[in-house]
Structure 1
Amino acid sequence: MTRRDAHPRRWLTLAPAVALVAATAACGDDDLDLPDPPAAPPTAATATPTVDPELQPFVESYEEALSAVVVAHEAGDPEHPDLLANFLDPSGALNNLQNTIRRNEDHDVYYKGELVIISAEVAELDPPDLPTEATIDFCIDYSGYDLVNREDDSPAGDGDPLGRYPVTALFLLGTDDNWYVVGQSTDWDEEC
Structure 2
Amino acid sequence: MNRHTGVVGLAGVLTLVLAACGSGTPEGKPSASAPSSLMPSASLAPSAAAGRDALVAYRGMWAAFVEAGKTSDADAPDLRKYASGNALKLIVSSLYTNRDQGKVSKGALMLDPKVTELKPSEAPTEATILDCVDSTNWLEYKASGELWDDKPGGKHRTTATVTRTDGSWTVSSFVLEGAATC
- The question of whether the paired residues in 1 share the 8 Å contact of 2:54 and 2:163 is answered with no
Shift of 1:94: 0.9
Matched, 1:118 2:108: no
Give RMSD over aligned pairs: 3.0
- Where relative contact order (Cα < 8 A, 6+ residues apart) is larger, the structure is 1
Matched, 1:105 2:106: no
Show structure 2 runs of 5+ residues with no match.
Answer: 1-8, 16-22, 36-47
Query: Which string of whole-angstrom CA distances, capped at 9 and with x for unpartnered residues, describes residues 78-117 of structure 1?
Result: 111111111112xx11111111111111111112112221
| Aligned counterparts of 1:47 and 1:83: Cα–Cα separation in 2 | 12
* Change over 3 Å in CA distance of 1:109–1:18 after alignment to 2: farther
Identity across aligned pairs (percent)?
Answer: 24
Tell me the TM-score normalised to structure 1 length. Answer: 0.68
* Change over 3 Å in CA distance of 1:38–1:47 after alignment to 2: farther
- The question of whether the paired residues in 2 share the 8 Å contact of 1:57 and 1:179 is answered with yes
Match of 2:147 among 143, 151, 155: 155
Matched, 1:182 2:178: no
Counterpart of 1:191 in structure 2 is: 181
Counterpart of 1:68 in structure 2 is: 64
| Aligned counterparts of 1:99 and 1:120: Cα–Cα separation in 2 | 26
SS at match of 1:77: coil
Counterpart of 1:9 in structure 2 is: none
Show structure 1 runs of 5+ residues with no match.
Answer: 1-15, 23-33
| Aligned counterparts of 1:107 and 1:46: Cα–Cα separation in 2 | 26
Higher helix share: 2
SS at match of 2:175: strand
Match of 2:160 among 151, 169, 181: 169
* Change over 3 Å in CA distance of 1:190–1:130 after alignment to 2: farther
Shift of 1:174: 2.5
SS at match of 2:81: helix
| Aligned counterparts of 2:143 and 2:102: Cα–Cα separation in 1 | 5
- The question of whether the paired residues in 1 share the 8 Å contact of 2:69 and 2:95 is answered with yes
| Aligned counterparts of 1:184 and 1:163: Cα–Cα separation in 2 | 17
| Aligned counterparts of 1:183 and 1:118: Cα–Cα separation in 2 | 18
Shift of 1:143: 1.3
Matched, 1:134 2:145: no
- The question of whether the paired residues in 1 share the 8 Å contact of 2:71 and 2:105 is answered with no
| Aligned counterparts of 1:109 and 1:75: Cα–Cα separation in 2 | 8
SS at match of 2:178: coil
Tell me the TM-score normalised to structure 2 length. Answer: 0.71
| Aligned counterparts of 1:47 and 1:96: Cα–Cα separation in 2 | 20
Counterpart of 2:19 in structure 1 is: none
| Aligned counterparts of 2:11 and 2:69: Cα–Cα separation in 1 | 11
SS at match of 2:121: coil
- Whichever residue aligns with residue 148 of structure 2, its letter is A
| Aligned counterparts of 1:125 and 1:47: Cα–Cα separation in 2 | 23
- Whichever residue aligns with residue 177 of structure 2, its letter is D
Kindly report which structure 2 residues correspond to 1:23-62, keeping only aligned pairs within 5 A, or say none: 37-38=25-26, 45-46=32-33, 53=48, 55-62=51-58
